[in-house]
Amino acid sequence: PVERPAEGVRVVITAGPTREPLDPVRYLSNHSSGKMGFALAAAAAALGARVQLISGPVALPTPAGVERFDVESAQEMHDAAQRLAGECDLFIGCAAVADFRAETPAEHKLKKREGEDTLTLRLVKNPDIIAAIAARADRPYVVGFAAETRDLATYARDKLERKRLDMVVANDVSRAGLGFGADDNAALLLWREGDTTGQVELPPQPKIALAEAVIRQALAQLAD
């Protein structure tokens, strides 16, 4: 018999980058491939969960059994997350959300101007999607990601507190062959356990295996 420990659990996951328009043909974005978020969605669905995946623009097929919602900007991702989070047990924010967007995207294509060698863009802060979910009265169990290049545990613990998360998956993006765009990843998992924090180190492994370990750990905490 197939083991389905996530049967009956409703999961919402954000994945991939966001795109913030500057004008009709240009945008601000980042190098997130969406692989980790899609691997989490695939793993949760394979374990029996009902999975809704909110994805920024990525070049990945929808995992089997997953319901997908495509968005572009952080504001669209925020709106979709708020709409879906009310009816889920577990929310995982894996998206690399752009921190800022153009205050007023140009209506027409921006033009180079004779004699002007600089261009100033005024950016405004995007909503913090996961912090907004964690601030809800009907909050689900909230898992966030922390991509750091140093002091992994310190920053991860800080993120747990500041965004009021239940669990943080921290990875060191400076390690060669791991993280952004790669197929493998390693992570330090931290979660709240009463007044203390539990933690486990997950060694470098394919993102799909790491994703399953993360989902299993979150399920174990959810059940407590």
Site residues (CB under 6 A) for ligand C5P?
14, 74, 93-95, 97, 126, 128-130, 144-146, 159
Looking at the Cβ atoms of 109 and 162, the one nearer to ligand C5P is 162
CB of 51 to ligand C5P, least distance (A): 16
For the bound state, the minimum distance from the C-beta of residue 115 to ligand C5P, rounded and expressed in Å, comes to 37
- Give CA separation, 64 vs 38, 90, 95, in Å: 10, 19, 20
Can you tell me the distance from the alpha carbon of 156 to that of 54, in angstroms, rounded to the nearest whole number? 23
Q: Measured from the CB of residue 107, what is the shortest distance to ligand C5P in angstroms? A: 25
CB of 88 to ligand C5P, least distance (A): 15
146 C-beta neighbours (distance < 10 Å), count: 23
User: Please, what is the minimum distance in Å from the beta carbon of residue 113 to ligand C5P?
Assistant: 32
Q: Side chain identity at 113, as an amino acid letter?
A: R
Nearer to ligand C5P, 110 or 222 (CB): 222
Q: For residue 35, give every residue at least 6 positions away whose Cβ sits within 8 Å of its Cβ, in sequence order, or none.
A: 60, 181, 182, 183, 207
**Phi, psi dihedral angles at 26 (to 5 degrees):** -130, 155
* Closer CB to ligand C5P, 5 or 79, in the complex: 79
By C-beta, is 45 or 133 nearer to ligand C5P?
133
What are the CA-CA distances from residue 176 to residues 63, 105, 179, 184 (Å)? Answer: 27, 36, 8, 10
Nearer to ligand C5P, 50 or 163 (CB): 163
The residue annotated as part of the active site, out of 30, 126, 171, 185, is: 30
Q: Is 30 a catalytic residue?
A: yes
Tokens of 94: 């894996």
Q: What is the DSSP string of 135-156?
A: TSTT--EEEEEEEESS-HHHHH
Which residues are annotated as catalytic? Answer: 30
